[in-house]
Amino acid sequence: MQVETLKEGDLHSLLSQILDELRAIRGLLEDRAGAPAPRALQQATDTAVGTSTTTPTVATDPVRCAESFLHRYLTGRQLRIVEFHALTPENPVQRERMRLAYFMGQHYAIVRLLLEELRATLQCPRPIFLDLMGMREKAISVLTNTGKDLLDLYMLQAYEYHRKERCIRVKVRPQPFAHNYLSGGWFELYVAQEAQKLLGSRLLTAKRNVKLEAQGGAVCEADLLLVVQGPNHDLRVAVLECKSANALYDEEPRQVKRLNSLLNLGMQRSAVVFPDAPSPAFAERWFQETGSQIIGCGQLKQFLQSL
């Protein structure tokens, strides 16, 4: 009985993925042509919507149902979660770091230079001077609050605001947790909160910094693993990878592509998120390399609404 259930779950997932891809193609054709997609494609998607039963309907306990679904989904692909973090940490210091991450994400255009300077000194910490001359009072307030909060949360070894000279002096604390946070951890926390806010009750469960073990012991990682309730009350797995440096380096594209392959995710359910909106050429290039949508934070709402 257990084997039959897994096979049925795989079939449902495959049908769901095919339906998502048909919808995506139909949407692209309609956007480009300014007219409805070809009749054959409309019939294909309409038929699929009428006949596909991708996942069981969410029960009275949606979170428990989502966790059970995710377990079956991963088991059917011979994967298991060996490590993850909850979306909202229990530790009060971690919660404050999460709050600061959201503040920085909301004011990224202002704190961007500060974050880039801090990131550049992570390997060899040194004092950084940030000139605030000519900035508006709101921008100065955002930067000084960010600097003070980073100091209070042990990310900085030093922080000074010189009001008369209108400059900030900061220095990174040489600790692994500070390195992880400033090198990109803050952005993952921000995107996680944005996803929670944008999806609302549709987000049934979410896990951060997930490590998945495949059959044979190989491990792959996902920044954010989500289970979302679809428009027909079906359950859908999605993945978000977060890249605060607005770039993909070394083996990162292959890792994303491998993760999508292991999870059997198409472009409709996988995205790499950057702080800035990528150019069309950049997005197309890395889509070919990863199999994921390549988006900026401003496009996150559209991606999540399409799930």
CB 262 within 8 A of CB 77: yes
**What percent of the chain is predicted at pLDDT more than 90?**
77
The answer, yes or no, to whether residue 167 has pLDDT greater than 80, is: yes
pLDDT in tens, 58-73: 656 899 999 999 999 9
What pLDDT score does 89 carry?
Answer: 87
Residues whose CB is less than 8 angstroms from the CB of residue 42 and which lie 6 or more positions away in sequence, other chains included? 26, 36
What pLDDT score does 248 carry?
Answer: 92
pLDDT in tens, 177-189: 999 999 999 999 9
Averaged pLDDT, 158-165:
95
Question: Comparing 191 with 24, which gets the higher pLDDT?
Answer: 191
Pairing mode of beta strands 79-86, 203-214? antiparallel
pTM metric for this prediction: 0.81
What pLDDT score does 286 carry?
Answer: 96
Pairing mode of beta strands 156-162, 235-242? unpaired
The answer, yes or no, to whether residue 274 has pLDDT greater than 80, is: yes
Residue type, 260: N
What rounded mean pLDDT belongs to the chain?
A: 87
pLDDT level of residue 49 (50, 70, 90 thresholds): very low
CB 237 within 8 A of CB 70: yes
What pLDDT score does 25 carry?
Answer: 53
pLDDT in tens, 108-161: 999 999 999 999 999 999 999 999 999 999 999 999 999 999 999 999 999 999
Nearest C-alpha neighbor of 271 from the set 233, 228, 235: 228
CB 65 within 8 A of CB 56: yes
Residue 202, CB half-sphere, CA atoms under 13 Å: how many? Answer: 18
Helix (H) or strand (E) run with residue 203 in it: strand 203-214
DSSP state of 173: -
**What percent of the chain is predicted at pLDDT more than 70?**
80
Domain locations in the chain as residue ranges: 1-54, 92-181
The answer, yes or no, to whether residue 257 has pLDDT greater than 70, is: yes
Residue type, 126: R
Nearest C-alpha neighbor of 300 from the set 190, 207, 225, 165: 190
What pLDDT score does 18 carry?
Answer: 59
